[in-house]
Structure 1
Amino acid sequence: MKRKAKTMGATQSTVTASSRGVPSVTAASTPNGDFFPLPLEILEEIFLNLPPHEVVCLCRLVCCQWKEVADSESLWRERCRRERYHRCDDSKIPDDCRLFYFICKKRRNLLKNPNGENKMKNWQIIENGGDKWKIEGLMAPHPNEKVQRNFVTSYGMCRKAQLIDLEKEGYNPFFMDQFQPHIRVSDWYAPRWDCGSEYTISVQLLNHRKEVVKKFAPDTVYFQQWNDQQWNQMIHVFKSYGPGVRYIRFMHGGKDTQFWAGWYGIRVTGSCVEICSAVDT
């Protein structure tokens, strides 16, 4: 670090104050442990232009002053503002802006191939009844215009699942146990207008032995024949689930209720599992 300071032109001699009134400083360590003291607002601006993981893992270890700035709420609040990470409800203020920032930055759908664009890739077939799973275009427009395909069930029970390894997705055990971020689950499902059908979903939070810690398994949803075939959304948020969560198992499916050959059962698409902040669910 000292070699880098010399390269920048900093030596043991006093640095002349600039015309803007910045106080003179030296490159030597100060009594309180500050290695390269700078006005806090300048240091904060420097940190705002560095990769966030370097600020946390490297910069905050340099000296007391750098740690103070790296841990400050103002730094992470400004970083959220610049990168447009907004809360759903602006009246709610995060308890920890740094945590809020990193959760927002990593937030994404942890389920792969949620709309069937890659056929059945990434999905484990649990049941494949009737004429088996099929992928088709939409019968009714989806609220999300980007969604153009869906999975379709048949006259026998069809269920499929994905297992999410949280550590592989970047959420280490310490983070999950200490902060227990909210886990938001959502799924879109729709019937055919001319055939009755049923829809089921089950989401489990699992520990390292893949034993159930928490579970969401609502009652089966039934649709009568001659319906409006519109899309419905199932949403659930896991909160305060305790330590030990290492995997998430998502499973859904259904069938038609009239035993018609072909693919007249429930349609599913747009499935989503996200790690998100408490103020953004």
Structure 2
Amino acid sequence: VWCFLFHIIILFYFLVFEIFLNVPPHQVVRACRLVCHEWKEVADRDSFWRERCRREGYHFCHASKVPTNWKHFYFACKNRRNLLRNPRGEDEFNGWTIVENGGDHWKIEAPMVSHPNEGVQKNFVTSFGMCLKSQLIDLKEEGYNSSFMDEIQPHIRISDWYAPRGDCGSEYRITVELLNDKKAVVQEFTPEPVTFPQWNDQQWNQMTHVFKGYGPGVRYIKFTHGGKDTQFWAGWYGIRVTESCVEICPADDS
């Protein structure tokens, strides 16, 4: 009898386990685990979230490490998103801090050349003096606590789209800094400025970079970009920027 009951319990466990794998993850956490002790035990098991990661293709970005909390890892992968606000200028300059506003200042326009992403209908435009703007991302406020950042050290992927104006030379600049709790620099990406001559094809270009192996202590990300025209023409003949992105990427797909 006891052997029979044991097999029934094991069968029940695996049935619940398999059913939960086909239930939306937020429902597993918010509803299923509250039904009874047995369901809660399944929903809280590390093996359940590890299997969910495996089935959905979330592979840990550090081959030599294993997450100590697979549920946190799963939801970090599931909730991957752009942490920059208003990346296309659709909400004017909300979310951005103007660092330098040279020449005739920053402006927002419709793209002169269609962006590869058809959804992009606005871009920021620089002038004849240096124009720079930035955002400071607080990782804790975005749901990435210190233990997660220090243990997982997820890849941090940044990208930015920029384009010159065809009839004027221009310069594009970008700096992205990983900062600790004192806002001191842990690691920095600052490529050489990109310059364009007068009479160019004014096509869109993408700047990308992935931060890896930056060590513990990262609490903020500061994203700064912009540029200017190089011929000092009044108006807005400088570099255009849009569709900027900063993503936390715990899975090895960055």
Tell me, yes or no, whether TM beats 0.5.
yes
- Structure 2 distance, partners of 1:66, 1:118, is 44
Deviations 1:98-149 (A, max 9, x none): 5663232110000000000000111000000000000000000101010011
Aligned partner of residue 71 in structure 1, secondary structure: helix
RMSD (CA atoms): 3.0
CA contact (8 A) 1:195 1:257 kept: yes
Is 1:212 equivalent to 2:182 in the alignment? no
TM-superposed deviation, 1:152: 0.2
Is 1:54 equivalent to 2:29 in the alignment? yes
Tell me the equivalent position of 1:31. Answer: none
Letter in 2 for 1:269: T
Kindly tell me: are residues 157 and 47 of structure 1, through their superposed partners in 2, closer, same or farther at Cα, counting changes over 3 Å?
same
Aligned partner of residue 253 in structure 2, secondary structure: coil
Kindly tell me: are residues 24 and 197 of structure 1, through their superposed partners in 2, closer, same or farther at Cα, counting changes over 3 Å?
closer
Aligned partner of residue 41 in structure 1, secondary structure: helix
CA contact (8 A) 2:104 2:128 kept: yes
Kindly tell me: are residues 260 and 99 of structure 1, through their superposed partners in 2, closer, same or farther at Cα, counting changes over 3 Å?
same
Aligned counterpart for 1:77 among listed residues 54, 72, 77? 54
- Structure 1 distance, partners of 2:12, 2:53, is 18
Task: Indicate the structure with greater helix content.
Answer: 2
TM-superposed deviation, 1:50: 6.2
Q: Relative contact order (C-alpha < 8 Å, sep 6+): which is higher?
A: 2
- Structure 2 distance, partners of 1:240, 1:86, is 19
- Structure 1 distance, partners of 2:228, 2:25, is 48
Gaps of 5+ in 1: 1-13, 26-36
Kindly tell me: are residues 75 and 227 of structure 1, through their superposed partners in 2, closer, same or farther at Cα, counting changes over 3 Å?
closer
Letter in 1 for 2:180: N
Aligned partner of residue 39 in structure 1, secondary structure: helix
Tell me the equivalent position of 1:227. Answer: 200
Kindly tell me: are residues 40 and 151 of structure 1, through their superposed partners in 2, closer, same or farther at Cα, counting changes over 3 Å?
same
Aligned partner of residue 54 in structure 2, secondary structure: helix
- Structure 2 distance, partners of 1:260, 1:50, is 55
Tell me the equivalent position of 1:134. Answer: 107
TM-superposed deviation, 1:279: 1.5
Letter in 2 for 1:152: V
TM-superposed deviation, 1:70: 4.0
Deviations 1:234-271 (A, max 9, x none): 00000010000000000001000000000000000000
Letter in 1 for 2:47: D
Tell me the equivalent position of 2:175. Answer: 202
- Structure 2 distance, partners of 1:66, 1:86, is 20
Aligned partner of residue 201 in structure 2, secondary structure: coil
- Structure 2 distance, partners of 1:278, 1:65, is 26
How many residues align? The count is: 239
Aligned counterpart for 1:104 among listed residues 55, 60, 77? 77
Kindly tell me: are residues 65 and 132 of structure 1, through their superposed partners in 2, closer, same or farther at Cα, counting changes over 3 Å?
closer
Gaps of 5+ in 2: none
- Structure 2 distance, partners of 1:50, 1:195, is 52
The normalised TM-score by structure 2 is 0.84
- Structure 1 distance, partners of 2:44, 2:89, is 48
- Structure 2 distance, partners of 1:188, 1:157, is 18
Kindly tell me: are residues 260 and 180 of structure 1, through their superposed partners in 2, closer, same or farther at Cα, counting changes over 3 Å?
same
Aligned partner of residue 113 in structure 2, secondary structure: coil
TM-superposed deviation, 1:66: 3.5
Aligned counterpart for 2:143 among listed residues 148, 153, 170? 170
Letter in 2 for 1:124: T
- Structure 1 distance, partners of 2:58, 2:118, is 23
- Structure 1 distance, partners of 2:44, 2:29, is 15
TM-superposed deviation, 1:71: 1.9
Q: Rg larger in 1 or in 2?
A: 1
Kindly tell me: are residues 233 and 104 of structure 1, through their superposed partners in 2, closer, same or farther at Cα, counting changes over 3 Å?
same
Aligned partner of residue 103 in structure 1, secondary structure: helix
